Amino acid sequence: MRSLEDFRSGKPSSYPDQSVCAEYACAELGLTFQDIDGGTGLAFGVASPTKTIHFGAGRCSWYPQNSATASTLASDKYFTNIILERAGAPTLGGEYFFLRDRHRAHRPAGHEREDALEHFRKLGASAFVKPLLGSRGDFAQAIHGEASFRSYLDEVAQSYDSILIQRIVSGTEYRAFLLDDEIVYTARKYPPSILGDGVRSIGDLLTAHNAALRSRGLSPVAVTAGRDTSLDFVLPKGERWDIPGRMNLSAGGTMVLEAPPSEAAFTLARKATRALGLRVAAVDMFTDIGGDANAMRIIEVNSNPSIRLLAQSGRSDLILKIWHHTFSAMGLVGV
């Protein structure tokens, strides 16, 4: 049998991870993988002797067993929060605002750009702000002060039409990946960091970090001196300096397969997945909020989660399990 790495080797770096995983799963499960875009991996079919299902990269879902309604609800961080709160699953809450007048007639009063500023002030001019329909940590950041908030709005408006403003929360972050009611894996998330080389300053290292983020289409981190940080400080060789804020893998964060400290996190993840009506979900949550061992809140629920961590962790067994769920839900295997 060919390993997952065998399928990855020789492919261009733009080739989607999920397409490699799908091709691997097809080989393991006796299905035919059909590239239909000249080897880019961006669009492919999966065929059994009786039917073919198509998949595509980008905005397409890798999980057709999730209904379009459930996936779309999960992509909207405000809709998700009100549905979860109603089901008794605590969230980070927040208020949504639109950055353009377009479609104004379709929303109630109080959600325009000027209202956003007023709400930000109400939170003491410090808040965590993110695009309402964002992902990968793009533009998800803590903002302090009105001037920073205004320039954030100008920047984010170039790529998104709406935002969610929340209180800044600190806790330990976990992800639980579910297939129906089964927890397939859990992982702990750690913040991105820069690594000292004994030559470059924190400011220079952050600038290089930002260039890498931009090349992947992600918003940069603010390069400003903090209370305890001097940007001119030369980081000793081998020393790590954590970048506070978003912990997304896409934004340079680290994920490690690890169980959360209590069973309560599993219960919460199941409750959230059920409330949204998803069959596949990656539920992100903060535990130990503000140092309180029992305080837990859902950050968001991902309906089209990446499974790159599993490839990095050598868990092709779990990749196979996830794709098997998809193929069997679509009637390609086990019929």
Ligand X SMILES: Nc1ncnc2c1ncn2[C@@H]1O[C@H](COP(=O)(O)OP(=O)(O)O)[C@@H](O)[C@H]1O
Binding residues (CB under 6 A) for ligand X: these are 77, 92, 128, 130, 134-138, 140, 166, 168-169, 173, 246-248, 284, 299-300
On whether the CB atoms of residues 176 and 183 are closer than 8 A, the answer is yes
Comparing CB distances to ligand X, the nearer of 18 and 75 is 75
For 217, phi then psi, to 5°, come to 75, 35
Helix (H, G, I), strand (E, B) or coil at 77: helix
Shortest distance, position 281 Cβ to ligand X, whole Å: 13
User: 92 touches which of Mg ion, ligand X, none (CB within 5 to 8 A by kind)?
Assistant: ligand X
Looking at 190-198, 200-208, 273-281, 299-307, which segment touches Mg ion (CB under 5 A)? Answer: 299-307
Cβ-proximal residue to Mg ion, closest one: 300
CA distance 140 to 254: 17
**Shortest approach of Mg ion to residue 291 CB, angstroms?**
23
CB of 167 to ligand X, least distance (A): 6
**Nearest partner of 282 among 304, 314, 261, judged by Cα:** 304
Least distance to Mg ion from the beta carbon of 42, Å? 23
Enter the tokens of residue 149. Answer: 């908030």
Which among ligand X, Mg ion, none contacts residue 273 (Cβ within 5 to 8 A by kind)? none
- CB of 82 closer than 8 Å to CB of 298: no
| CB-CB neighbours of 335 under 10 Å | 9
C-beta separation of 299 from 173 below 8 A? yes
Nearer to Mg ion, 95 or 300 (CB): 300
Contact 14, 58 (CB under 8 A): no
The nearer residue to ligand X, 31 or 74, going by C-beta atoms, is 74
User: Between 48 and 91, whose beta carbon lies closer to Mg ion?
Assistant: 91
CB of 7 to ligand X, least distance (A): 27
CB closer to ligand X out of 206 and 243? 243
Residue with smaller CB distance to ligand X, 140 or 153: 140
Q: Please, what is the minimum distance in Å from the beta carbon of residue 139 to Mg ion?
A: 12
Helix H segments across 125-278?
Answer: 146-156, 202-215, 264-276
Rounded to the nearest angstrom, the gap between the alpha carbon of residue 90 and the centroid of all alpha carbons in its chain is 19
Beta pairing class for 126-131 and 162-166: antiparallel
The contact set with Mg ion (CB under 5 A) reads: 300
